[in-house]
Chain A
């Protein structure tokens, strides 16, 4: 039984540089396992998914990019605000993208206005499209078993997810109000979880703590904390402690190096490298303690020796599955 059994929309955020796109992709693969159909969506126009799966830039269409570990399909979509707006007009107002009203909107700059000049409106369109994909059905069955959203970074994500609430406040009645209310209903329901990716470094940990507070205050459901790029301590605990204090046993190290036929003069430099490592491990430990205070389910992924490729993604997906996230 996964940790979030009722969740269908998994939102993945994290501070820049923490690997949120990689984690989102691994989570999509994990969820697809065993024959499920999963949509992995990105909204920032960075084409991060295409880079990760090593495919050509994604067009605005739901396209299969990978198969799950035991069957199942991962589709990907790069949500584009302009296309999302045209979709929206088409779906709700039966305005064809090439019809006169849509063309008029474009001609007078309304589409530009909504998609580039006012980023708040852009977020309405992006979140609206994600909601549409999540609730879309064919013959009464959901098209996707799960949707994974590679969301904006932690600093921006509370506002991004809450934009429909703000718009709902502006429009007291009418279609915009109804649409906004439905988006917020989904985002605040048990069908949605917001996961936060972090590194065990000071700033990402702090941003994670802040994001949990902000999301909770907005009534948005916080899911798990995914700790990425965790290093395995290479030294025994006692050696680690000594290295951190700068008290590593240089004499013993010299003896060891000599025994291995290596230059003993390297001992101080290698000890320095060990001290760096120990400082880093201690920092990670402090980060872990701070995150434990959140009392949220947490998952750890190792630092992969090379840049993440498809093989690496499956490896991470398996780890997420084993730890119960999917």
Chain B
């Protein structure tokens, strides 16, 4: 028997809530609804979103990418919202952690300009970086984070390890050689063992590109030391029992399969999983009238009549609802200890605070 995810308890006790799940399952809406309900329970709350739908963003007063939390109007409590600007966050880190001259060099490097917004799972990483900053500010009781809609949303879990492997690797040393030696002396400074490699890499990408790339890596290296420590600190923060991961899904095969992946991955990393939210569940208040009975009755009637149409709809709805229930059962039998809560499907998208409140109430089962 699956236990019900007690959302209000999570909202009252957690300091950080991280929502993850695949695309198109209503993750951003869930994050916003959780934050609103948390704020209206009296906790100072901030919600950090990645890419909200335009109208949802407008409902929360977010008009542009902005790295500063802004108060949301019309909330009976304190709710701030912010929409992360990836590039800006990365630039800020460069400016904070590198010497001014060096920072300028990095910001102007063509590789930095082309790659910084996609570098090393930047989105995920930046969201976590921002999370650490918000936590450190002490301004909030509850921080709700929305993550990008991909598996790589959990890449930040590997970030400390991956960066360490990368930085301690010889690639960095090879790439740094030209920057350190300055241009043409490059081939002389590398040891004979690297000749094969350097020949290969020069042949592949060309000497001038190598020069730019080298400068870029050299510049990043000055910041990477700090990165590594902060990545570790963020990792520890996420592992804290006051953090709650909420996996979001829709009652569909692919979405639940991705949810299973997230649940297993979080479990492997011993991250505190609160439970699963299943959005867009179809229910019927007339489940006593079975699909078969409903269809059989419809067949006896004039097919264009109102009653026949309504009965066919009811049969479709029940069939859908049963299919959804089967998929959920399959998930729960594989993951019996994961608490689950369902949210009813809405005919349209949610794009105002009242809509979010209704989702929040449904989440809490009230």
Contacts and interface: CB of A to CB of B under 8 A. Distances in A.
Contacts of A92: 204
A121 B205 CA distance: 12
A59 to B, nearest CB: 20
Contacts of B253: 307
B115 interface: yes
A293 interface: no
B189 interface: no
Interface in A121-179: 121, 123, 153, 155, 159, 166-167, 169-177
B192 interface: no
A256 B307 contact: yes
A169 B111 CA distance: 10
Instruction: Give the interface centre of A92, A104, A283 by most chain B CB atoms within 10 Å.
Output: A104
B165 A112 contact: yes
Interface residues of B, number: 75
B310 A273 contact: yes
A268 B231 CA distance: 56
A249 B311 CA distance: 14
Nearest to A88: B204
A32 to B, nearest CB: 24
A109 B171 contact: yes
A313 to B, nearest CB: 14
B306 A260 contact: no
Nearest to A116: B162
Interface stretch (B18-26, B65-73, B100-108): B18-26
A43 to B, nearest CB: 12
A170 B197 contact: no
A93 to B, nearest CB: 6
A266 interface: yes
A100 interface: yes
A249 B309 CA distance: 13
A93 B312 CA distance: 64
A100 B300 CA distance: 77
Contacts of B152: 119
Contacts of B25: 16-17
Interface in A1-43: 15-18
Contact of B119 (A118, A271, A305): A118
A271 B310 contact: yes
B98 interface: no
Interface string B206-219: 11110010000000
B197 A101 contact: yes
Nearest to B53: A203
Contact of B200 (A95, A201, A206): A95
Contacts of B171: 108-110, 112-113
A89 to B, nearest CB: 7
Interface in B240-258: 250, 252-255, 257
B334 interface: no
A269 B288 CA distance: 11
Interface in B246-272: 250, 252-255, 257
A64 to B, nearest CB: 24
B331 to A, nearest CB: 14
Tell me what chain A mostly uses at the interface: helix, strand, loop, or mixed.
Answer: helix
B323 A306 contact: yes
Contacts of A101: 196-197, 199-200
A17 B208 contact: no
Interface string B155-197: 0000000100110011110100000000000000000001011
B286 A273 contact: yes
B14 to A, nearest CB: 26
Nearest to B174: A108
A218 interface: no
A169 B110 contact: yes
A235 B309 contact: yes
A103 to B, nearest CB: 10
Interface string B17-43: 000001111000000000000000000
Contacts of B169: 108-109, 112-113
B215 to A, nearest CB: 12
A117 B120 contact: yes
B118 A119 contact: yes
A280 B306 contact: no
Contacts of A174: 205-209
Contacts of B162: 116-117
A262 interface: yes
Contacts of B138: none
B57 to A, nearest CB: 12
Interface stretch (B1-9, B313-321, B353-361): B313-321
Interface string A232-270: 001110010000000011001101110111110010011
Contact of B301 (A89, A234, A256): A256
Contacts of A283: 347-348
Given A15-B23, A269-B285, A171 B206 contact: yes
B109 to A, nearest CB: 10
B291 to A, nearest CB: 11
B118 A110 contact: no
A153 B284 contact: no
Given A16-B22, A109-B169, A269-B285, 12 more contacts: A15-B24, A17-B22, A17-B254, A93-B204, A112-B166, A113-B169, A169-B114, A253-B306, A256-B310, A260-B311, A270-B311, A273-B310
Interface of B: 22-25, 51, 53-55, 110-111, 114-115, 118-121, 149-152, 162, 165-166, 169-172, 174, 194, 196-197, 199-201, 203-209, 212, 250, 252-255, 257, 284-286, 289, 293, 297-298, 300-301, 304-314, 316-317, 319, 323, 347-349
7 contacts: A109-B169, A110-B171, A260-B307, A269-B285, A270-B313, A273-B286, A279-B348
**Shortest 4 CB-CB distances between A and B: which pairs?**
A16-B23, A17-B24, A256-B307, A174-B206
Interface of A: 15-18, 44-46, 48, 51, 89, 92-93, 95, 100-101, 104-105, 107-110, 112-113, 116-121, 123, 153, 155, 159, 166-167, 169-177, 201-204, 206, 234-236, 239, 248-249, 252-253, 255-257, 259-263, 266, 269-274, 276-277, 279-280, 283, 305-307
